[in-house]
Amino acid sequence: MTAPAKNAGVDLRIDGRGGVDLGGGEEARRAFRDTLGHFATGVTCMTTLSPTGGPVGITVSSFNSLSLDPPLILWSIAKVAATFAGFQVGDRFAVNVLSSDQEHLANKFAQAGGDKFGGVDIYVGLNGVPLIAGCVAYFECTAEARYPGGDHDIIVGRVWRIFNIGKTPLLFHGGALRTFG
């Protein structure tokens, strides 16, 4: 792929700010991350079972809707994640949408490896997949497809059952967990 000419011949400024070329380098990488952080999201934990039947979970903000008919959702998982191999095509998994009082769980499931389920109340969902108690909503899925996406894989989930509890969600913005208000 060919990169566009730098500034495309125009020194563009928007509201007094210049653009950042993402050719490479640590500063550009940080700027990219910071700029992505302006897109406010909710926070989820993706849960599944390991081949040996142990619970697996990871905090994820890349969750999004994909299709209404058929009902599909998507999210992405970092290749370096310990749980990277845990969400294969055909596997059952659940999207647990965290509530505003579950910041501690967002942090707990964002720690690499280890036992993340100690002290966490769960329900047993479809095919034994753990559902974290106290969430805003749940989507019980099978991984329908998995696509490469740079240093992440994109996972597409087919949704089989949902729970809409109707609590207030936890938010993620500017690199920090937040609540409304």
Ligand X SMILES: Cc1cc2nc3c(=O)[nH]c(=O)nc-3n(C[C@H](O)[C@H](O)[C@H](O)COP(=O)(O)O)c2cc1C
Chain positions contacting ligand X, by CB under 6 A:
43, 58-62, 75-78, 81-83, 106, 110-113, 172
CA 73 vs. chain centroid, Å, equals 11
Q: How far is the CB of 123 from ligand X (least distance, A)?
A: 22
Report the residue number, 62 or 142, with the smaller CB distance to ligand X. Answer: 62
The sign of the torsion formed by the CA atoms of 32, 80, 121, 74 equals positive
Nearest CB to ligand X, comparing residues 7 and 107: 107
Q: How far is the CB of 31 from ligand X (least distance, A)?
A: 19
Residue 19 or residue 104: which is nearer to ligand X going by CB?
A: 104
Q: State how beta strands 41-42 and 17-18 pair.
A: unpaired
In the β-sheet with 44-49, what is the strand arrangement from edge to edge?
55-60, 44-49, 92-97, 137-149, 152-164, 72-78, 64-67
Residue 9 or 118: which CB sits closer to ligand X?
118
Q: Give the nearest distance from C-beta 14 to ligand X in angstroms.
A: 28
What is the closest distance, in whole angstroms, from the C-beta atom of residue 6 to ligand X in the complex?
31
For 140, what's the count of Cα atoms within 13 Å in the CB-facing half-sphere? 16
Closest CB 32 distance from ligand X, rounded Å: 15
Nearest Cα residue to 56 out of 113, 18, 4: 113
Sign of the torsion formed by the C-alpha atoms of 96, 52, 155 and 58: positive
Smaller CB separation from ligand X, 77 or 120: 77
